[in-house]
Amino acid sequence: MRLFEGTEWDRPPRCERCDELEEECACPAVEVERTSPQEQTALLAVEKRRKGKFVTVVRRLIDEGSHLSELLTRLKSVCGAGGTIKEGAIEIQGRQLDQVRTELQRLGYRTKG
Report how many residues bind Zn ion under the rule CB under 5 A: 5
Asked if 85 interacts with Zn ion (CB under 5 A), we say: no
Of 14, 25, 95, 111, which one interacts with Zn ion (CB under 5 A)? Answer: 25
Q: Tell me if 14 contacts Zn ion by CB under 5 A.
A: no
Q: Which amino acid is at 64?
A: E
Under rule CB under 5 A, residue 21 binds Zn ion = no
Out of 10, 17, 63, 65, name the contact with Zn ion by CB under 5 A. 17
48/93 Cα distance (integer angstroms): 10
Say how many Å lie between the first and final Cα of the chain, rounded. Answer: 67
Closest CA to 95 of 63, 38, 36, 55: 55
What are the residues binding Zn ion (CB under 5 A)? 15, 17-18, 25, 27
